[in-house]
Amino acid sequence: YANKVLLSLFTLEMLLKLYALGLQGYFVSFFNRFDCFVVCGGILETVLVELQLMEPLGISVLRCVRLLRIFKVTRHWASLSNLVASLLNSMKSIASLLLLLFLFIIIFSLLGMQLFGGKFNFDETQTKRSTFDTFPQALLTVFQILTGEDWNAVMYDGIMAYGGPSFPGMLVCVYFIILFICGNYILLNVFLAIAVDNLADGDNINSSKEESRKGKAVDEAQGSGS
């Protein structure tokens, strides 16, 4: 019942804002659109539960929509609101970088399959978890190296696959070093650079708006005084 009461309050709030702002004015704000999505998702979930259609349709995941209501607090918390808005503004740049990172992972996965496919079985007493035998395993291994989780152990396995720390075994470490440096220190850190840049832009915009608002207030005060 608590869920229905809260859903009714959220629905009433949305309807009042729609009446006050109008349809076009209401959907101008991102947070209003987000509120509408949360409320409509909650209404759809409630209707499906009441009609006992939730299990046959398999849409119980809509219950997770209720957890999104916590983000409504961002409207009243200026710093958090600026953070969310800045992250959303950076999505376009991040999407392009994600595509580049995805291509980077695929290229090194295919290259790893050519270099190390079926060659990590030199130690028959121990089963290797990180291998390049299949494309899915190669993807997981490359992702593991990018995260820095025991990447040096995978590199040592690659060296041993080519006869140990001698020629040509030492040459294969170039593959892992390039993968780790380019992926971990360059591509992944660009995410932080994009996020920080957008946060700085958001702070500058907010500062400009605040100064503009203060200037208007001063002008209005001087106008009323004269």
Over residues 88-130, the pLDDT tens digits come to 777 777 788 888 889 999 999 999 999 888 888 766 666 777 8
The pLDDT tens digits for 175-186 are 999 999 988 888
DSSP assignments along the chain, one per residue: -HHHHHHHHHHHHHHHHHHHHHHHHHTTSHHHHHHHHHHHHHHHHHHHHHTT-HHHHT-GGGGGGGGGGGGGGGGT-HHHHHHHHHHHHTHHHHHHHHHHHHHHHHHHHHHHHHHHTT-S-S-TTS--SS--SSHHHHHHHHHHHHHTSSHHHHHHHHHHHTTSSSTTGGGGHHHHHHHHIIIIIIIHHHHHHHHHHHHHHHHHHHHHHHHHHHHHHHHHHHHHH-
b/e sequence 100-118, b meaning 16+ C-beta within 10 Å: ebeebbeebbbbbbeebbe
Instruction: Please tell me whether residues 119 and 188 are part of one structural domain.
Output: yes
Q: Which pLDDT score, from 0 to 100, does residue 58 have?
A: 45
Q: Which pLDDT score, from 0 to 100, does residue 213 have?
A: 66
Q: Which pLDDT score, from 0 to 100, does residue 217 have?
A: 66
For residue 84, CA distances in Å to 68, 181, 193, 198 come to 13, 30, 16, 11
**Distance between CA 174 and CA 153 in Å, rounded?**
14
Instruction: Please tell me whether residues 118 and 53 are part of one structural domain.
Output: no
Q: Tell me whether residue 14 is in a domain.
A: yes
Average pLDDT taken over every residue of the chain: 78
Q: Which pLDDT score, from 0 to 100, does residue 77 have?
A: 67
Q: Tell me whether residue 12 is in a domain.
A: yes
Number of domains in the chain: 2
Q: How confident is the model at residue 27 (pLDDT cuts 50, 70, 90)?
A: confident
Instruction: Please tell me whether residues 107 and 179 are part of one structural domain.
Output: yes
- The domain boundary residue, chosen from 49, 78, 107: 78
Task: For 167, list phi and psi in degrees, rounded to 5.
Answer: -70, 135
Lowest average pLDDT, out of 144-148, 185-189, 193-197, 213-217, goes to: 213-217
CATH classification of the domain holding 112: 1.10.287.70
Q: Which domain holds residue 107?
A: 93-194
Instruction: Please tell me whether residues 46 and 137 are part of one structural domain.
Output: no
Instruction: Please tell me whether residues 190 and 144 are part of one structural domain.
Output: yes
Q: Tell me whether residue 207 is in a domain.
A: no
Between residues 2 and 56, which one has the greater pLDDT? 2
Q: Which pLDDT score, from 0 to 100, does residue 76 have?
A: 65
Instruction: Please tell me whether residues 38 and 128 are part of one structural domain.
Output: no
What is the chain's alpha carbon radius of gyration, rounded to the nearest angstrom?
27
This prediction has a pTM of 0.58
How large is the average pLDDT for residues 122-144?
84
Lowest average pLDDT, out of 64-68, 117-121, 170-174, 187-191, goes to: 64-68
- The domain boundary residue, chosen from 45, 78, 111: 78
Q: Tell me whether residue 177 is in a domain.
A: yes
Instruction: Please tell me whether residues 121 and 180 are part of one structural domain.
Output: yes
Two tokens, residue 215: 């200037």
Q: Tell me whether residue 209 is in a domain.
A: no
Q: Which pLDDT score, from 0 to 100, does residue 140 have?
A: 93
Instruction: Please tell me whether residues 50 and 104 are part of one structural domain.
Output: no
Q: Tell me whether residue 26 is in a domain.
A: yes
Instruction: Please tell me whether residues 99 and 139 are part of one structural domain.
Output: yes
**Distance between CA 50 and CA 64 in Å, rounded?**
17
**Distance between CA 18 and CA 40 in Å, rounded?**
14
Q: Which pLDDT score, from 0 to 100, does residue 142 have?
A: 93
Q: Tell me whether residue 202 is in a domain.
A: no
Q: What is the percent of the chain with per-residue pLDDT over 70, rounded to a whole number?
A: 70
Instruction: Please tell me whether residues 97 and 190 are part of one structural domain.
Output: yes
Lowest average pLDDT, out of 2-16, 27-41, 61-75, 155-169, goes to: 61-75
Q: Which pLDDT score, from 0 to 100, does residue 57 have?
A: 45
Q: Tell me whether residue 224 is in a domain.
A: no
Instruction: Please tell me whether residues 28 and 103 are part of one structural domain.
Output: no
Two tokens, residue 50: 């009441």
Instruction: Please tell me whether residues 125 and 37 are part of one structural domain.
Output: no
Two tokens, residue 11: 């629905």
